[in-house]
Every structure is written in structure tokens, then in C-alpha cells.
Chains A and B, each alone.
Chain A
Amino acid sequence: MSKFLNTIIAATLLASPVAAEKLGLGRPALPEEIAAWDLDISPDGTGLPVGSGSVLDGEEVFAEACAMCHGDFAEGVDNWPKLAGGMDTLNHDDPLKTVGSYWPYLSTAYDYIRRSMPFGNAQSLSDDDVYAIVAYILYSNDLVDEDFVLSNENFLDVEMPNAGGFVFDDRAETEYSTFHTACMTDCKETVEITMRAAVLDVTPEEEGTDAPAAEEAAAEPAAPAFDAELAAAGENVFKKCKACHQVGEGAQNKSGPVLTGVVGASVGAVEGFKYSKTFQAMNADGAVWDEASLAAFLANPKKYAKGTKMSFAGLKKDEDIREVIEYLKSQQ
């Protein structure tokens, strides 16, 4: 290219750097690295792992790993997504969009569950477990029978009810041709209020600016002694728990109970939380959370309390367990 042309191009691009040449940055990605990260699955089945799972297995895995948010029958708990139902509601006032009623591709369900679920413990399920969960969700939507087994081989045979329910963005045709006029004067004769947000009253209140927080804190009984440094480290570990458990001021029961003051408290005693039968029984037996019992539970929740609703797989490092317990001790 001549110098003259270069000058013209540089002038035209102004601030844009000219980067047609490769710079030789980065390094080749290794096949095992690509395999570890490239997990996405396309509607045509590209990326599906070899494997299978049945509705019946799925029911069990779902109850353990998913039901605390999505409900035993995929009907959803609180504001968590409903995964089943809602057939033929898409043109209703309040459509219920579930995997069955709305999702156009089954690949999306497998892809999302394998990569991003369960919430707070993503990518902890085996490929077969994911097949089983997807099979159970299909069953919950009355799309397959209870003896159905989903595998990479029959995956594309499943028909999703709303597969044909989508059109590509058509705003250019349906809207842009109309939305281009602007009346400036005498555009209408009357203006009447038809709806008021203040009447509906769903806007969050402004928080009070007078904060007697310090006085409140001083009035509370002295908290049990804890190692501040260890507790600070535990706060970081507690991030793993936060998806389901809250502590501190304004804490509320979520899919797990509030953990403020849990060290030294009776097992299964948080008011308003619906405990598993296991925890109800432990409560009746007078069990108390001390450091030893918490450590054992956190190391392997399902082993320590078979039947617990807690889907968390457990903390692998003793150090993490020590730290998070210290943090919980600081939360009184």
C-alpha cells in the first residue's frame, strides 16, 4: 500500500487504531482447556455429552438439588422460577412461561442446568443427573411418561410445544414505519389521568435518615467471643451460603433459614422456616448446633443429616469450615 493511501486511511479512521496485522499476542488454547470451558449446547444437539437419565432418577435428584427453589413438582417456590405448567397461557393477561409452556429448545434446558445450576453450586451435577433432571422437568410438564429415559440419542426427538412460537425482531416493519411523526401543537383536546402509581403503592419507601444503629447495637447483649481475623476470612467463605442463607440486620428466611445466632441455638428452631422431617426430628430430640456438630454437618450435609433440604455439597477444606463457623459466631 502506498504511503499516500495509508495517510488517507489514517485520516479517515481518526482515533481507530489500524490493526490489520496480527500482533502475535496470546497463546494457543489447548484441547483440554477448550473442553473444560466450551460446554454450550446448540438446538441441533451439538455439544451434548453421551449419557442418559430417567424421569424416576430425575425425581430424586430434583428433590435434592432443585426443589428448595423450584418446588417438588417444578411449580416454583416464592419468586423462584416455575419450571412446569402454564400451557396455553402465552396469550393470556398473565402468561406463565415455563420450560414446558415457553422454552423453544430442549437443548437450552440441558445447557443451562449443566452450566449454571444448582444456584450456588453450579457445575456440580453429573451429565447423567442433568439428563435425569431434564427428563423430570419434561414429565412435570406432561410432555413425557413416567417411564421415559432421556439420552443424547433420543434428545432431538422431544418436541417442545412452543418451538414455533417465536418470530425474529420485526420492529423495522411493525414499528419503525409508524413511529416517526411528532405533533408539536394542538395535538389533543383533553388530558385525563387513567392510572396513578401512588394508588398502587408498590414503590419502596425511602430509608429513614436518622439512624440510631449505634445505640441499638450497644443495647444488645454482648456477643460470644470470636476470633475476628478468622471470622473475617469466614465472611468470604460464607459467600457460598448466601444464595440461600441470610444473616444480620433484616435477615429473612430464604430457601434456607436465617443463620443469625445459629451457633449455640437448637437445631431446626428458626421461626417461620419449613424444615425437613430430619431437622424436625433433631429439634424434637433437643439437638443443639455447637461447633462440632456444625463442622460435621458442613463437611457433608447429606451424610450428617440424611433428608436435609440443603442441597449444598459441603465444604471440602477444614479451614473453610473453621472460618465460616467463626463468622457465624460473630453473627449474633
Chain B
Amino acid sequence: MTVSFKGKKASRRQFLAGAAAAGAGTVAASAAAAAGDPLITEKQIWAQATGDGVDATPYGLPIEFESDVVRRNVEWLTADTISSINFTPIHALDGTITPQGCAFERHHSGAIELTKGDYRLMINGLVDTPLVFTYDDLMRFPRESHVYFCECAANTGMEWAGAQLNGAQFTHGMIHNMEYIGVPLRTILNEAGIKPEATWVYVEGADASSNGRSIPMDKALDDVLVAFKANGEALRKEHGYPVRLVVPGWEGNMWVKWLRRVELTDKPIESREETSKYTDTLEDGTSRKHTWVMDAKSVVTSPSPQSPITHGKGPLVITGLAWSGRGAITQVDVTLDGGKNWQVARLAAPGQKMALTRFYLDIDWQGEEMFLQSRAHDETGYVQPTKAQLRDVRGLNSIYHNNCIQTWWVKSNGEAENVEIS
């Protein structure tokens, strides 16, 4: 016999109400003191009947109680969902690896379905021999595996002019972090023979948007990966199955999905995505171009507006993520008072180059109001700037590359809100 244990997940509002009242932990503790916790003293159905058999879900999804931990879209951002973006639920995740199923998506012409059999990769332009590879060909090159973050250049872009979106998912969720398996681009280019005058590669996808970006040869020969697996399994459709480009530390738009062509050139192509978009307009009206690197950044993922404190006073785990496109994270500082005083957070593991780093700060919270911020340092000595520092240099119209320090106003009832402070 199979029993389905239908639980009912509390809504966010119920959570908030609970937090405001007293805190769920406190309630459970007092119930136990009175007559014993019925979850312990009474026999529970799951401890008597059997659960699902092994083949109930040949490929498993998260249990239904986690159904709120999903990608979310902000409808007013784009004209429709086919050329749009959604957000990773970073407020509800822990560790550093992003499960593929909830890793943010960005499409310019929708997520296409391309089989391995129909996949072709062309290398042309300034090479000795233009070549075509099948998926099976790619599988015969020596492979590497690396963990890298992929962040959209527009992550936090809605916050330039002020605190807008109330949740870490929406302010910082255009990011994911996966273990990629693939072939270094340099290995594949070497196979075609790079001509000395080739100084750029132009990479292009197979979907209708035919998204294309120019990448300088130094980077192409350094750490760029032609990847076909992530987190141990095939890439998901929405992340470019069967093959995508991985451009460590550089803006997500360059991580071309459904990679179909790499052209070696002696100049950038200046495609739409590297001129009209992904260029950063400054206050005087001039715009920066070729702003590829994602600078050091961090955010407290919990507590945060979508992840309020629900347990009342006492031990509180403050946690978040830090990353840098210019190397490894070396330190993360956290402030509880809006930047008057900072303390060094504990890194879950030493920072890895161009990968997410998880940090924790364990405190004894006595219900005081907090202005929570985190501040990342990377191996170059760069320290994550405040929004005011960024605005001083760039103004309000840059859209992209907003790596400012984020503030969550945590109230005495445990709720949190996205605010800007002086």
C-alpha cells in the first residue's frame, strides 16, 4: 500500500503572522511542556504505513512541501516570457551548487529543443582548416570539470535608482553556480589551427535569436569551456542543451547557449548584444563597452524579505553568498547595524576562483531591529562598494554591473525589507 502524506505548506503570509506572534519554535516548546508533543506521543501515519516504491518517480523532483522554491519571473520587466529572464530562489537555497531545475533562465528567443544528433559546432574564420564537430566528436576530447558562477550582467540592475524589489531572489537571483564538464575551447580551436592574426573569437548560438558575442583571444585560450554537462548530468534545455559556452567570471550573456559556431576574427563583430545592450551608460551620457568581468559581490540570502526570522529570539544563522569574476573570495564582512560596525563572517569553505562562496554568521538575536549588509573581498584586494560609491562613478543609468552592498531592514518581528540607508 502506498500512502500519500499530503502536508500543507504555510504561506509566506502565515509565516509572517507566526513570526509576528511569537515564533514557531517557542510554541512547540510550550506545547511539549504541557502534555508532550503529539508528533512524538501519538503514532503518526508515516511511521505505520509504507511510502512510495522505488520507481514511483524515475527522475525525482523536490518533494511537494518545497514547491515554493522555484524560479520566479517579474512580469513587468519584459514584453513577454520568450525573450525574458527569471530568478533563482537563492533566498531558500544553501550551500553553493545551484540545482539545475531552479537555476535562472534567460532566453532571447525561447528555450529550443535541439537533439545531440542534430547538434553541430562549426569553427571558421582565421583558422588553418575550418571544421565541423558533432556532439559525439566533442565527447572524444580530453575533458575538464570546474565549478563556476554564471551571473547576468543585469543582476541587481533594477536597484540602480533605488530599492525596488523586495526579495533576494529578485534583487540577486540572476545567478547560478554549477559544476561544468566540458572541453576547453583552446583544445577545439587548436584542432582547427589558429592563424596568428586571429585576436578575437565570435561565438554564436543555434536558436532564432542567434545570440552572438565577441571574446578576446586571450580569454578564449585561457579558461573558456565548451560544456555539455552540469552538476553531473546533461545541461537542461533552458541552459542550452546539448552544449553551451562557459566563460568564467564574465557576464552571463557571453555564455552562449546551444553554441553552434566559433568564428576567429581580427576584430569584434559589435553585435546587438555588445552595443545596444550590455553596455553601461554613465551619467554624462557616454557608455562603457566591453565590460565583461563581473566584479566582487555578495548578498545575505537569509534572513531576507522572502526568508524572514520565524523562530523568535535566540540563536540566528545569518547566511549568504559571495563571488567575484576576478578570482576567489578571500573574506566576507557582515554588519548588523547598517555599516557602523562590521564583523568577519565564516566561510563554509575557502573561496574558489569565479565560483560562489557560502558565508555564515551565527548570532544571538534579541529581537533588535537590524540593517543587515554583507561585503565581499576578493583575491585582488577589491572590496565590494556601496551603492553610493557606484553612483558617484556611474550615475543611475548603467543598468548592468550593479555589484553594490545590499541592505535588508530586519524588524523586531522578524520580517525583512529591501531598503536603502544613508
Q: Which residues of A contact B (CB under 8 A)?
A: 15-20, 22-23, 25-29, 33-34, 37-44, 69, 78-80, 90-91, 93-95, 97, 99, 102-105, 107-108, 111-112, 115-116, 119-120, 122-123, 165-171, 174-176, 178-198, 200, 202-204, 206, 208-209, 239, 242-243, 254
Also in contact, A115 and B210, with CB within 8 A (given A93-B396, A170-B288): yes
**B287 A23 Cβ-Cβ under 8 A:** no
- 21 inter-chain pairs at a CB distance below 8 angstroms, sorted by A residue, are A42-B267, A42-B269, A43-B270, A79-B76, A79-B79, A107-B270, A108-B271, A115-B210, A116-B208, A116-B209, A165-B286, A166-B275, A168-B288, A169-B288, A179-B383, A182-B333, A182-B342, A184-B333, A187-B340, A197-B417, A204-B74
Alpha-carbon distance A176/B290, docked complex (angstroms): 16
Size category, B interface: 35 or more
A90, B165: Cα distance in complex, Å:
25
B208 touches A194 (CB 8 A): no
Minimum CB distance partner of A89 in chain B: B285
Interface residues of B in 232-290 (CB under 8 A from A): 260-261, 263, 265, 267, 269-272, 275-276, 279, 281, 283-290
User: Taking CB as reference atom, which chain B residue is nearest A170?
Assistant: B288
Residues B288 and A167 in contact, CB atoms below 8 Å apart: yes
> Closest B-chain residue to A80, C-beta based?
B79
Q: Which 7 A-B pairs have the closest CB atoms?
A: A17-B142, A91-B285, A191-B338, A90-B285, A79-B79, A197-B418, A29-B130
Main secondary structure of the interface of A (DSSP, over half): loop
Complex interface: chain B residues within 8 A of A38 (CB) = 124-125, 261, 263
Alpha-carbon distance between A33 and B263 when the two chains are bound, in angstroms: 13
Instruction: Contacts A40-B204, A179-B389 given; indicate if A197 touches B272 (C-beta within 8 A).
Output: no
Given A29-B130, A192-B421, A204-B74, decide whether A37 and B288 contact each other with a Cβ distance below 8 A. no
**Most chain A Cβ neighbours within 10 Å, of B77, B204, B276, B291:** B276
Cβ of B18 under 8 Å from chain A: no
Chain B interfacial positions (CB closer than 8 Å to A): 8-13, 67-68, 72-80, 82-83, 108-110, 122-125, 129-133, 137, 140-145, 162-167, 170, 184, 187, 190-193, 202, 204, 208-210, 212, 260-261, 263, 265, 267, 269-272, 275-276, 279, 281, 283-293, 295, 305-306, 333, 337-343, 371, 375, 377, 380-385, 389, 393, 396-397, 409, 417-422
Known A111-B271, A208-B11: A79·B164 in contact at CB below 8 Å:
no
Known interface pairs A40-B204, A204-B73; A242-B110 also in contact (CB < 8 Å): yes
- Cα–Cα distance between A203 and B129 once the two chains are bound (Å): 52
Which one of B131, B276, B377 contacts A108 once the chains associate, using CB atoms below 8 Å? B276
- Do A175 and B385 touch across chains, with their CB atoms under 8 A apart? yes
Flag if A90 contacts B131 (CB, 8 Å). Answer: no
Q: Are A184 and B342 in contact (CB under 8 A)?
A: yes
Complexed CA–CA distance, A115 and B11 (Å) = 46
* A115 CA to B212 CA, complexed, in Å: 10
CB A215 to nearest CB in B, in angstroms, measures 16
Of the residues A15, A22, A123, A209, contact of B9 by C-beta under 8 Å: A209
Q: Which of B137, B380, B422 touches A26 (beta carbons < 8 Å)?
A: B137
Assess the A19–B417 pair: CB atoms within 8 A.
no
Bound Cα distance A183, B339 (Å): 9
Chain A residues with CB under 8 Å of B144's CB are 15-17
Contact of A185 among B141, B275, B288, B342 (CB under 8 A): B342
B333 CB, min distance to chain A CBs, angstroms:
6
In the assembled complex, the Cα of A37 lies from the Cα of B206 at a distance in Å of 9
Contact of B80 among A42, A99, A197, A243 (CB under 8 A): A243
The answer to whether B421 and A204 touch across the interface, beta carbons within 8 angstroms, is no
Complex Cα gap A178–B393 (Å): 10
From the candidates B12, B208, B292, B371, name the one contacting A191 in the complex (CB within 8 A): B371
Supposing A95-B281, A167-B287, A169-B288 touch, asked if A182 and B422 sit within 8 A by C-beta, the answer is no
Q: From the candidates A105, A178, A185, A197, name the one contacting B164 in the complex (CB within 8 A).
A: A197
Q: CA A42 – CA B263 in complex, angstroms? A: 12
Residues of A within 8 A of B10 (CB): 209
Q: In the complex, what's the smallest C-beta–C-beta distance from A103 to chain B, in angstroms?
A: 5
